[in-house]
Structure 1
Amino acid sequence: MMNQKKYQNIIQSSNTERYEYLVRKVADFETIYLIYGRFWQISTFNINGTECILVFPEKDFAEQHIKLEESKSVKKKGLNKFIHWLEKDKSNKLNLAVFPNRQNEVKIVNASEFKNDLLKECEQYE
């Protein structure tokens, strides 16, 4: 379990700061966390009229987000599989919502933009 002070500091940061944190963490640990509903389907969320998939850098953030929703669960996905999955989106309509804060404020990014940012960050670890 993450230190509560660290959790508070990160969750209270701006949408852009949380996005940058997510990109760094996912590139560093080569994992990302998604929310799944029943029947192991990735949950989508409508945020201001935009259909999105929530993504989280660490399991604790995802679990806190769904703690009152018994039908939801958190699943870890490896970075390579996740990037491959993003590349399947030929329509370029897949949007990702970077882990929301307590007020459900969130940065929404297109899958291709997210993939490019991740790959740039990964290059720094090589």
Structure 2
Amino acid sequence: MNKREFEALINKPPNIRYEYFIKKVVDYEEVWGLYDDGWATALDEESNLLIPFFPKKEFAENCAKNEWEGYKPRVIDLTEYINDWLSGMSNDGIKPSIFPNDDNTVMLNIDVLLADLEDELDNY
């Protein structure tokens, strides 16, 4: 990914980044997170636990700062993400934070994320 493409995408509104996330993780069959002796997490305004996920390694690397300083991008197989991660997160009350940047993120119900991923997978 070149710098121009990166800069254009990282600054898009959250809904556009979400659409990009869905298409790219299905295209490449992988999701990226940040890991350092455990997965990166955050809290929303209501103190709900969030785990950030990214469509590409470069976007995860960009967020490895501040509270996530020292975290490294780690890939998650899409099938494992859908079958294990999302159901486990749902059971544990953890929400996905999709494609965060320095300003915002997309937080949504896991059922919506699963439906969007399955809809995109149906195109293949």
TM class by smaller structure: 0.7 to 0.9
Indicate the residue corresponding to 1:60 in structure 2: 58
1:12 Cα deviation after fit: 0.8
CA separation of 1:15 and 1:81: change in aligned 2, threshold 3 A: same
1:47 aligns with 2:74: no
Instruction: Report the number of matched residues.
Output: 120
Moved over 3 A (4+): 88-92
Secondary structure of 1:91's partner?
helix
CA separation of 1:66 and 1:79: change in aligned 2, threshold 3 A: same
Question: Are the counterparts in 2 of residues 34 and 74 from structure 1 also a CA contact under 8 Å?
Answer: yes
Secondary structure of 1:121's partner?
helix
Indicate the residue corresponding to 2:83 in structure 1: 84
Report percent identity of matched pairs. 28
Question: Are the counterparts in 2 of residues 92 and 110 from structure 1 also a CA contact under 8 Å?
Answer: no
Indicate the residue corresponding to 1:101 in structure 2: 101
Indicate the residue corresponding to 2:5 in structure 1: 6
Question: Are the counterparts in 2 of residues 33 and 75 from structure 1 also a CA contact under 8 Å?
Answer: yes
Secondary structure of 2:12's partner?
coil
Q: TM-score, normalised by structure 2?
A: 0.87
Q: TM-score, normalised by structure 1?
A: 0.86
Task: Tell which deviates more after alignment, 52-61 or 111-120.
Answer: 111-120
Which runs of 5 or more structure 2 residues have no equivalent in the other structure?
none
Secondary structure of 1:28's partner?
helix
Question: Are the counterparts in 2 of residues 94 and 111 from structure 1 also a CA contact under 8 Å?
Answer: no
Q: Give the root-mean-square deviation of aligned CA atoms.
A: 1.7
Which runs of 5 or more structure 1 residues have no equivalent in the other structure?
none
